[in-house]
Chains A and B, each alone.
Chain A
Amino acid sequence: MTTLPMIDTDIHPAIVENPELPDFVAEHELPSRDGDRVIQFREALREAMSEEMRRDKRVFLLGEEVAEYNGAYKVSQGMLDEFGPERIIDTPISENGFAGMSISAAMMGLRPIVEFMSWSFSFVAADPILNNAPKMLYMSGGQFGCPVVFRGNDGAGGQLASTHSWCVEALYANVPGLKMAIPSNPYDAKGLLKTAILDPDPVFFLESERMLGDKAHVPEEEYYIPFGRARVAREGDAITLVSFGRPVNFCLDAAEKLAEEGIDVEVLDMRTIRPLDIDSIIESVKKTNQVLVVDQSWPFASIASEVVTQICERCFDWLDAPPQRLNTEDVPTPYAKGLEYNYLPNPDRIYDAVRSMVNA
């Protein structure tokens, strides 16, 4: 358990020096993932924000419908009652405006959490989130940091079609100066979001509408999961599946079925994309000698492209076969249920890909 000191009033535009970070502990020293405190993904997110808001008055949440509506997806349910309208702030539908505001508030030393109802709506805020937040520290020559968290639903919801189903990871991870976290389960969601709020750099935090109702044991105590540390979600030696966010769960489903057929796959949950724990990938590839990257963004210049490149650069000699990638199909997002299913990475596609790569 990690407890940080209470902060209530100390704000200054000098946040870039001596950032206060938790003492991160090794994976096995984190509180247990097993237990009966079963809560939803959305509650884990809420718990992370609420804990940090109780500890640090500089932290506040703003976005569309976060306060009186209790959150478009009920992530912030009840937070208005606890923290009041000064810190849980309903905004107009002005992503460009309120994202821009959050950046200057962060430069002043506040710790804004900006909720995008969906990352699909973040494009109208492209200038503040891409052109300002990640570059502020650099272009000011180290004078002004930008400790802001942008969070919201990423990826296909349910049949929301082309405009509402964006996976922004490949587009946005291209930009130096930002960090990107993408949890696949409630336990990691809490620990990663708490770290994101403390981190002195802008963090893009990608959730999934389709996972907000997922349930798992989440410890009541406080814990912080460091960025850049992948988790072995399942051990195996036949092939390494590298994934992040929602498709990690598809990999685990496929792994289940493959295990019945005698194929033990290893599943790595990257948890953060920037930083990317390439060391853990290499370690696994050295054991399995085969790798498939499962990525919910489009294939062209995707996260999978980056992971495969780094694997080729760093451990080419350990590969028995060309590294493969399984992405969302390279078309706009369709509406029809069956089409959407086949468009996304899913357990069937992953199963087929592994069967084509591994001889049982």
Chain B
Amino acid sequence: MLFARGKKILGTAYPVIQGGMAWISEATLAAAVSEAGGLGVIAAGNAPFSFVREEIRKARKLTAKPLCVNVMLLSPYAEEVAHGLIDEDIEFIITGAGNPGKYMQAWKEAGKKVMPVVPSTALARRMEQSGADALIAEGTEAGGHIGEITTMALIPQVVDVVTIPVFAAGGIGDARGVLAAWMLGAEGVQVGTRFLLAHECQVHAHYKEKIIKAKDIDTVVTGRPTGHPVRVLKNPLAREFARREKEGCTPEELEELGAGTLCLAAQEGDTKNGSFMAGQIAGLLSQEQSCSQIIQDLYLGAEMLLAEKCRGENHG
């Protein structure tokens, strides 16, 4: 059985986490993922706690299975959300874009399982010391805010320095990626970009179309000078970023250019001015499916693939 430890810690049928996606992964998507046997994640993004609470309540009406909230630590509301979650009916908290050390104790005391996203071995060790239950090691292939190291290089290095389970994220789009993550020592996967194509994902149709059309080389990284680089699909806004970065715009000007643009893409489908965050694996994805189909294709597909490979080896 693949990923026994990962499934155990999640308490789900499949060791597949739907990555939190700001402005996109709300109650409908998260509940559908959890119902389908994965871990559904509501993204707090840059929203105030009242929004997050509303989404949790909605999702709870749709599923009794484990649910998670992704706390984006760069958000102006991070503190408010972090404290608010203590009394909410969710089992897991995933944190993105930073070090959640100062909230850890309160969350643990409230019985939440905490899984920080880490882009380096140092933060991985630090998080294990602070009491994290598992880690999500995310490579630079991922959509959204990213680190520097690739999934291929990051996972084995993180796995070697901690004892808690590690989930792999970044660039996983099908059963081959899941099996590769397993070979690298991961105990499960977190997938973002592919879930953008879930029927239950409420993102604007233009967003889905852009993912389906994307080729391997169609993502770029913007915002490096701000210290918070993000991976997005190429479009006029991404080109404008590149131009201004070349001209030496200040980080503040770049932050301003980026403000609100993910929302514009996700909700209005504004293909010119929106920021279409997506991972490098977008090029592989070509069809919309239900959450259940996606999760089964990822996990059961990996099991089948492994069995096939083993048979192949034996028969020379």
Asked if chains A and B come from one complex, the reply is no
